[in-house]
Structure 1
Amino acid sequence: MMDWNAYREKLMAGIGDLQALSPDTVGGYVQASGAGAKTNYLDGKTRELIAIAVAVTTRCDGCISVHAERAVKQGASEQEVAEALGVAVALNAGAALVYSARALDAVKKTTERSDLMTATSS
């Protein structure tokens, strides 16, 4: 498995390099990611649990690393993280189910068109 702490440190150094070259890019990200904390409708732990689940669905190791650390600092237990990850698993499966129906629809429409073209050329 990955050394998440070392990875996070290296990642943050790389983001620091990007910030030096393009401060508005990183600043815009920081502003967007801090917006929820300003309204504070959800507590920090809940926001971090959501962030971990989203990080899994977007397959972002950097996001997993950062938000795992923040979730722990906000008091999230392994059980709470596991439940949030269960939601991510279900959503990914649900998305695959939805897109499976779309793929079948595409096959049906292609088959119908192919059948129609064959019938009109005969």
Structure 2
Amino acid sequence: MFENWKELLGTLRQSSGKLGNTNPKVLDAYRGLNAALGTNGALDAKTRELIALAVAVTTRCDGCISSHAAAAVKAGATEAEVSDALGTAIALNAGAAYVYSLHAMEAFQQNASA
């Protein structure tokens, strides 16, 4: 097992109070951002959590993975839906690596010709 995801989520929730005590405006703003999600009604909670889980993978955020995996379960996502969302994240990361490889080649070529 890579991680105890339920334990990590509990630790994150307990630790967030520490930051909130020293920087309450940031924590309030973060909570406000999360509270605003879905208020226009265009996406249901399950779809938002599937997107969030895929983004969590692409940003390599274990805390985000823990949080959004739990929220996806709560929103009724199936393992097949999660697998499809993660497949999209994998494909996007490959695409991003390709595009940034082109940037790296261009940077190399510009430096080599100088």
Fold similarity call, TM over 0.5: yes
Compare the two structures and name the one with the higher helix fraction. 1
CA distance in 1, matches of 2:8, 2:107: 42
Gaps (5+ residues) in structure 2?
none
Determine the structure 1 residue equivalent to 2:67: 66
Paired letter, 1:66:
S
Determine the structure 2 residue equivalent to 1:119: none
- Larger Rg: 1 or 2? 1
Paired letter, 1:43:
D
Matches for 1:1-122 after TM superposition, within 5 Å: 1=1, 2-113=3-114
Paired letter, 2:94:
A
Gaps (5+ residues) in structure 1?
114-122
User: 4+ runs of 1 displaced by more than 6 Å?
Assistant: none
RMSD of equivalent CA atoms: 1.0
Shift of 1:21: 2.2
CA distance in 2, matches of 1:32, 1:79: 29
Shift of 1:31: 1.0
TM-score (structure 1 length as normaliser): 0.88
Paired letter, 2:43:
L
Shift of 1:20: 2.1
